[in-house]
Amino acid sequence: MQSINQTQAAIAKYQVAINKNISESEILWNRYNALLVFNSILITAIGFSYQGNLNLPLLVVASLPIAGLLSCYLWFIVTLRGFQWIKFWTVTARKIEEKYLPDDNPILNPINNGKNHREDVVGWPKTQIASYILILVTAILYLIFLANLLNTKSFHKNIFHSQQRTMHRYIK
pLDDT at 61: 85
pLDDT at 104: 58
Can you say whether residue 122 is alpha, beta or left, with left for phi > 0 and alpha for psi between -120 and 50 degrees? beta
pLDDT at 119: 53
74-92 pLDDT, tens digit per residue, is 999 999 999 999 999 988 9
pLDDT at 90: 87
What is this structure's pTM?
Answer: 0.75
Ranges of residues in the chain with a pLDDT under 50 are: 117, 163, 167
DSSP state letters, 112-140: HHHHHHHHH--SS--HHHHHHHHHHHHHH
pLDDT at 94: 85
pLDDT at 68: 97
pLDDT at 98: 80
Decide if 49 contacts 96 (C-beta within 8 A). Answer: no
Structural domain containing residue 67: 4-171
Tell me the CA distances in angstroms from 136 to 120, 139, 144, one per residue in order.
Answer: 27, 5, 12
Split into its structural domains, the chain has a count of 1
pLDDT at 120: 52
2: helix, coil or strand? coil
pLDDT at 159: 53
pLDDT at 143: 96
